[in-house]
Structure 1
């Protein structure tokens, strides 16, 4: 198991080395900020048994055995659009504290982060070049002004990552459970890629994206350009999709943001990665992390309604973010055909994991021949739930059903032990492999653990 430990220190403080079973590993500085430095230590642990590493006089146990029974967690939406850093920590991180206690009872081997690990929306608010983002932008800012903007955005992103990562329950978990992360729009800004091209292609937009991308690599992958871990499909980083395989499990995490436009969700690099994965034999279970839900209700009906009602058009970008958007219908069908064929391969099971909607739900697509594709949505590890009326509305919309691929209907179905299709509670997902059989349970803030769902 190839790991990286991430450290944030005062500018001139070097963290102690890590001692692992194969020896001692020293830190490398991968970024500096106004008064801080970010360090990485890469090391390995055995992947066929539980292990530990030592740092600064303390031992950290890791459930690193990928060969037999294991547990993993999936989370998304670790924050809110407005005032996230001002929230009371015990309220904001209540589900992280619950996961920490859960890990203490039965260790987690992996922590999968499905998008919106931070909410960067407010970083544009207090700089003159982007205070009016995304509508009021300068046309031809000078190189010096853009350099100042980049410095401003880097510092604001650093502050968000540092504060969120320092939360005690998260920091405790992150030191003991290896994380794998893929980003979504709020790691950049709300609706990145679904905004008009004139906005995202502007000098300010490109500076925002480049700065958020640098922070994503540093803080979510302990990496920098030219030094990406082997899990990334494109060493040059034109897209940031990655895959990991170990012990009869494969995790695919396509990048749905780097190449996104108002008309495409993935570009040539992203599709090359996922097409290659679709042709590979991968015995066991594949977990496909789609940061926006791959299976969902007929949101195209909402888009049509928004065109008719002018005051609703401000929500168009939110719907254009989705696979189900009218703008992405052909691309959505292409992805559904690909995952259908993957799931039909002998000896391979596939489950889609998604977040983004701040609700808990699941969906099923009939693949024919008695096979089904399960999609599990766990969204809102820290983001507070929307009104219950919104969950009921989506549930009513889901009764219409959809079948973008003929003979493969998609249904939104209730979580085990519940009657409604969408649950408006903060939540995270637990994935368990026992005797080579997989199951899933949601941990809901108010309702608690669901009964297990066989996968």
Structure 2
């Protein structure tokens, strides 16, 4: 039985970089066997696909090519012309999505229900084309990938004693097959496939792309042979399926060519997209490591005009979760949720680092001729927050989550709303408040959703598409 739901899956467009007025793109294709798929056809000639990897009878292919970054264009593959909006110089429209899955039984869900918001985003693109698609983390939910192998079935609750090299090699093969199956199923979904062939994607990972709570679990779990094998396969899969890349061949937008961390930045006229890696260097005591901080400080020192969007896979601004964290530690049966709260910037374990990031973002926002907005996913709700930066400036935090993960109970949204009413001030001179979405009465909206970011002239605005409530009025940024 083939591990692919179709003989050929793709193309999935990935934006490698923007330079010299050109979009540098990769087209990713998965196919059974080793026979090369058709080339990408441009007016300048054909671009052959090159094999990146072969897993379990499936070959992963990539073609790299350029398209204009200042006007619409197209490319042709396998007999179909794909139009690209492409113009990053004037008015444009971006979409932001996150949390494309669920922890349990995601591959068994009925397709039209699971992908209802993807179908709605396709219609939004048909009405007014998107230039880029930003994915803010948890593009896959790999939590069940460890099941079915004796070394990992009960991990992280149980640690196998001193597994052999042969057993770990078997685990690697098992995990590769499970990650491949998840990516193939997601990329073959008609709604996603149609959009991903026409709108270049930029992807940032979060914990479920590895496993629930990666980096916030106990060190004995993450640094065990099973934990390190899981991380290695998840990272390899992230590069291959979300970046169309392999080690030693990362696109130029990545800050560290060696890939010790996987943060990246894209610079276009009047626009910077900044995505630090909040997972590769994460431990229970830190979110960013030396490489991640070096990237952020370099970007803070870089002259920039227009607008920066900081993709923080977990929300940068939010309610006083440290109160919940203290409560959970005190109640034994609630301690299993500790890792979920430790994942957040607001955790007591990350307080100093959170302040450091907020000061850096504040300094970025105070640069003349420049604005910055944070966008995040993670929490399976729609919300926003505002931080007063002084000098008449504010930092907007926009949260859109999730595109296919079903919303949590509304009671949880009310709990968060009550916490938000208490306020938060990690920097006393820059208070934070959780605000309501335009047209909504509650601070947290328990509906599936995605975010639209639109530039007209030099002005940016945001709108949330909510599954039941529909499109919000615009929020000026």
TM over 0.5: yes
C-alpha separation between the residues in 1 aligned to 2:238 and 2:269? 28
Query: Contact between 1:20 and 1:44, CA under 8 Å: does it hold in 2?
Result: no
C-alpha separation between the residues in 2 aligned to 1:124 and 1:454? 44
Which of 169, 180, 204 is residue 182 of structure 1 equivalent to? 204
Name 2:324's counterpart in structure 1: 302
Q: How does 1:277-356 map to 2 (within 5 A)?
A: 277-356=299-378
Name 2:178's counterpart in structure 1: 156
Give the superposition deviation at 1:11.
1.5
Residues 383-417 of structure 1 deviation map (CA, whole Å, 9 limit, x = unaligned) = 00000000011000100001101210000000000
Name 1:166's counterpart in structure 2: 188
Residues 347-375 of structure 1 deviation map (CA, whole Å, 9 limit, x = unaligned) = 01000000000000000000001100000
Q: Runs of at least 4 residues of structure 1 off by over 6 A?
A: none
Name 1:367's counterpart in structure 2: 389
Query: Contact between 1:21 and 1:45, CA under 8 Å: does it hold in 2?
Result: no
Name 2:410's counterpart in structure 1: 388
Query: Contact between 1:362 and 1:413, CA under 8 Å: does it hold in 2?
Result: yes
C-alpha separation between the residues in 2 aligned to 1:379 and 1:11? 36
Which of 238, 242, 247 is residue 269 of structure 2 equivalent to? 247
Name 2:424's counterpart in structure 1: 402
Name 1:268's counterpart in structure 2: 290
C-alpha separation between the residues in 1 aligned to 2:117 and 2:437? 19
Name 2:474's counterpart in structure 1: 452
Name 1:27's counterpart in structure 2: 49
C-alpha separation between the residues in 2 aligned to 1:20 and 1:225? 28
Name 2:9's counterpart in structure 1: none
Which of 70, 95, 106 is residue 73 of structure 1 equivalent to? 95
Give the superposition deviation at 1:191.
0.1
Query: Contact between 1:20 and 1:45, CA under 8 Å: does it hold in 2?
Result: no
Name 1:218's counterpart in structure 2: 240
Name 2:12's counterpart in structure 1: none
Find the residue that maps to 2:68 and give its secondary structure.
coil
C-alpha separation between the residues in 2 aligned to 1:271 and 1:192? 19
Which of 100, 109, 119 is residue 97 of structure 1 equivalent to? 119
Q: CA RMSD in A?
A: 0.6
Name 1:113's counterpart in structure 2: 135
Q: Does 1:435 align with 2:457?
A: yes
Give the TM-score of the pair, scaled to structure 1.
0.99
C-alpha separation between the residues in 2 aligned to 1:422 and 1:268? 34
Give the superposition deviation at 1:92.
0.1
Find the residue that maps to 2:337 and give its secondary structure.
helix
Find the residue that maps to 2:182 and give its secondary structure.
helix
Give the stretch that moved more between structures: 25-34 or 141-150. Answer: 25-34
C-alpha separation between the residues in 1 aligned to 2:98 and 2:274? 16
Find the residue that maps to 1:146 and give its secondary structure.
helix
C-alpha separation between the residues in 1 aligned to 2:72 and 2:154? 51
- Where does the alignment leave 5 or more consecutive residues of structure 2 unmatched? 1-22
C-alpha separation between the residues in 2 aligned to 1:231 and 1:25? 22
Find the residue that maps to 1:375 and give its secondary structure.
strand
- Where does the alignment leave 5 or more consecutive residues of structure 1 unmatched? none
Name 1:13's counterpart in structure 2: 35
C-alpha separation between the residues in 2 aligned to 1:307 and 1:59? 56
C-alpha separation between the residues in 2 aligned to 1:230 and 1:22? 23
C-alpha separation between the residues in 1 aligned to 2:179 and 2:40? 27
Give the stretch that moved more between structures: 276-285 or 21-30. Answer: 21-30
Name 2:13's counterpart in structure 1: none
Residues 250-303 of structure 1 deviation map (CA, whole Å, 9 limit, x = unaligned) = 000000000000000010000000011111111010000000000010000111
Which of 223, 244, 250 is residue 201 of structure 1 equivalent to? 223
Find the residue that maps to 2:303 and give its secondary structure.
coil
Residues 14-54 of structure 1 deviation map (CA, whole Å, 9 limit, x = unaligned) = 11111224432111100111121110000000111000001
Find the residue that maps to 1:302 and give its secondary structure.
helix
Query: Contact between 1:288 and 1:353, CA under 8 Å: does it hold in 2?
Result: yes
C-alpha separation between the residues in 2 aligned to 1:436 and 1:20? 32
Which of 107, 122, 128 is residue 144 of structure 2 equivalent to? 122
Name 2:63's counterpart in structure 1: 41
Give the superposition deviation at 1:328.
0.2
Residues 63-112 of structure 1 deviation map (CA, whole Å, 9 limit, x = unaligned) = 00111000000000000000000000000000000000110111000000
Which of 78, 86, 90 is residue 108 of structure 2 equivalent to? 86
C-alpha separation between the residues in 1 aligned to 2:50 and 2:216? 37
